[in-house]
Structure 1
């Protein structure tokens, strides 16, 4: 484990770190300077020369790493990465609940839960770490970027384990609602059970016939308006794209789903058609004090584009 970072968070993100290798006594150090090692260690797209000149690489004590500083083994180097420009995601993050252990928010569609890939500053974690002044804030479960609704976060590392274990044990009762077509020949309620797999680098998940069940969802129709209805979805597992796959496989794909049944070629800043899927309720027994907790989304279906609100 690295020592504590000498750099404060920036944009709600902690500093990155690297460590030079331990000394290999039979062989001389292959890099004459720390600058040479950083160029070897970091991708070509990183402007190491500029960052060194701006004193953005620092040691454990906060002193800058110099270009011509002699290479030293087992040395930690800290820095903040350059972040790409991002289009601001419309919509408000509503804080539904906050106490010393938990923050529960209601996020808009298109906002990533965690900083990842092209969505770093435009993520729930990055925004709220800065806005709430909680540098260790971290999500306790997943919520797709295009999905709206409730997301639970731990305020510090101290509380992450007890609450995350609830999700791992299936002890959190989650309810979703979705707008999808109505099939008159489909008898509801029903439970969908199958084996879902999403391969790294692919857009869509897939069903593996004959494999042991790893995904289960109770599907109920709550209301109907013309050819569409509002479905109540109660997942008993939490596979990637589970609810979207299960409704699609029933022949009732969720309205405005960019991946199911067909992958749509949409721009990353196209916020015009939010997926009609809402993480509506979360309930559980608190592992710390034993109280019953229940949180409800402030949003309702159909979900409108932010500019229409």
Structure 2
């Protein structure tokens, strides 16, 4: 099923390609999402046949994704994420709970079983950590800044749900739904807002920021 939204290139140099991914587009081929992925589109449209992802972003999450252009640097850039050397910031919209004390750091043990849609929290030593802050609120909704320290599958969605404020548009948390594959009407209100790191190849300081806004919290209109 074609995803009717476009990728936007934020940065390109001899080593890296950074794009602003839309909701509903997978980063890489997986399951039933094979041709309609960011990787396949970019390889085809930009002629970068050896392009590979430095990390992955959930299909339902929009925002900044980084790819490696040169195969000899693939493991070097992927190690940035494995070694937690990238500063990641996300934005989410969820219900505002005046009784929820924020900011706070959420730590838990998350497991994700193959073939099971939802990840879950279990007893045991924490393997996930997220910083959750409330930026502003209005009309019963809150705009949250999320900073994951670790990168477990669905981590931010699980942690927000555990706090009692599941992210708007989430078809899995708190209840697993079954949206039609061609239903693009309710995007998950989660955006990978920013990636920042020191380039291990060139030594440059990078900071890449999404230009997208979340539909439930549009940018304010500028005065005419």
Please give the TM-score of this superposition, normalised by the length of structure 2. Answer: 0.95
Pairing 1:21-32 to 2, within 5 Å after superposition: none
Which residue of structure 2 aligns with residue 251 of structure 1? 164
1:224 equivalent to 2:137? Answer yes
Do the aligned residues in 2 keep the contact of 1:106 with 1:151 (CA within 8 Å)?
yes
Matched with 2:181 is 268
What is the distance in 1 between the residues matched to 2:202 and 2:41?
29
Q: Give the TM-score taking structure 1 as reference length.
A: 0.69
Residue segments in structure 1 that go unaligned for 5+ positions in a row: 1-86, 305-309
Give the corresponding residue for 1:112. 26
In the aligned structure 1, how far is the partner of 2:215 from the partner of 2:143?
Answer: 9
SS at match of 1:131: helix
Q: For residues 100 and 289 of structure 1, what CA distance do their matches in structure 2 show?
A: 10
Question: Secondary structure at the residue paired with 1:195?
Answer: strand
1:172 matched residue in structure 2: 86
Superposition misfits of 4+ residues, deviation over 4 angstroms = none
Residue 199 in structure 1 maps to residue 110 in structure 2: no
1:167-210 deviation line (CA, Å, top 9, x unaligned): 1100000000000001111110000001100001101001111x
Contact 1:179 1:302 in 2 (8 A): no
1:156 positional shift = 2.4
Inter-partner Cα distance in structure 1 for 2:82 and 2:166: 28
Structure 2 distance, partners of 1:157, 1:223, is 42
Do structure 1's residue 131 and structure 2's residue 45 form an aligned pair? Answer: yes
Q: CA deviation at 1:99?
A: 0.7
Check if 1:297 corresponds to 2:210. yes
Question: Offset of 1:144 from its aligned partner?
Answer: 0.6
Which structure would you say has the larger Rg?
A: 1
Q: Deviations for 1:211-256, whole angstroms, at most 9, x for unmatched residues?
A: 1111000000011111101100000000000000000000000001
Cα drift, residue 303 of structure 1: 5.9
Is the Cα–Cα contact under 8 Å of residues 283 and 292 in structure 1 kept in the other structure? yes
Alignment check: 8 A CA contact 1:141 1:152 kept? yes
Partner of 1:92 in structure 2?
6
Residues 132-172 of structure 1 show CA distances to partners (whole Å, capped at 9, x for unaligned) of 10001111112110110010000121111111111110000
Counterpart CA distance in 2 for 1:163 and 1:282 is 13
For structure 2, list consecutive stretches of 5 or more residues without a partner in the other structure: 218-224
Q: Decide whether aligned partners of structure 1 residues 303 and 107 sit closer, same or farther in structure 2, where only a CA change above 3 A counts.
A: farther
Question: What is the CA RMSD across the aligned residues, in angstroms?
Answer: 1.0
Partner SS state of residue 232, structure 1: strand
Structure 1 residue 90, shift from structure 2 partner: 1.3
Structure 1 counterpart of 2:69: 155
Q: Is the 8 A contact 1:173 1:282 kept in 2?
A: yes
Paired residue total = 217
Tell me if 1:280 matches 2:193: yes
Where is the strand percentage greater, Structure 1 or Structure 2?
2
- Conservation of the 8 A alpha-carbon contact between 1:173 and 1:283: yes
